[in-house]
Amino acid sequence: MDHPATRPAHGRAPSVSPATLRRWLEQGHDDEGREVVTLDTRNDYEVDEGAFAGTIDWRLSKFTEFPAALREHKDEFAGKTVVSYCTGGIRCEKAAILMQDEGIENVYQLEGGILKYFEETDGKFYDGGCFVFDGRDSLGADLSRTELVHPRPIKKHLME
């Protein structure tokens, strides 16, 4: 996503640690009492492998669709704490910066993404595996390789 607001030289998006996100999801709100919503910034075929329970998924076929989807849905975040997430923390940081630029308050990125969440927590609140692009296909909460839920569409998509 090439967007002026997503330049690293302009600073990072606020982040939340995996342990803090897990605690917020456990208690049902952030430390200020606001409802916490998770926003998956990955592509649709990645989300199909696994996601946080109750996550918002805009069925993006590619990350460059994120700005338009955000403009269409940004009012849904009023009064809530939004935690964007992705596999390793790159796309979700760009998304969080863009959300702030669009005037959305209380936006965080999940520090280190799903893989760091798996590494530092027990994986509770995440259902399924996490698609990875390094040949292991999908990883479970214990970071061991798991079988893809939808292998053909993913493999086909990666060939395009």
Taking alpha carbons only, the member of 62, 45, 38, 61 closest to residue 138 is 45
101-110 as b/e: b if 16+ CB within 10 A: beebebbbbb
Choose, from 21, 60, 70, 86, the residue flagged as catalytic: 86
Query: Are β-strands 126-128 and 50-52 bridged in parallel, bridged antiparallel, or unpaired?
Result: antiparallel
Task: Characterize 31-70 residue by residue with b for buried, 16 or more Cβ atoms within 10 angstroms of its Cβ, and e for exposed.
Answer: eeeeebbbbbbbbbbbbbbbbbeebbbbebeebeebbebb
Say whether 130 is catalytic.
Answer: no
**How are beta strands 36-40 and 56-57 bridged, if at all?**
parallel
d(CA 114, CA 140): 10
Catalytic residues: 86
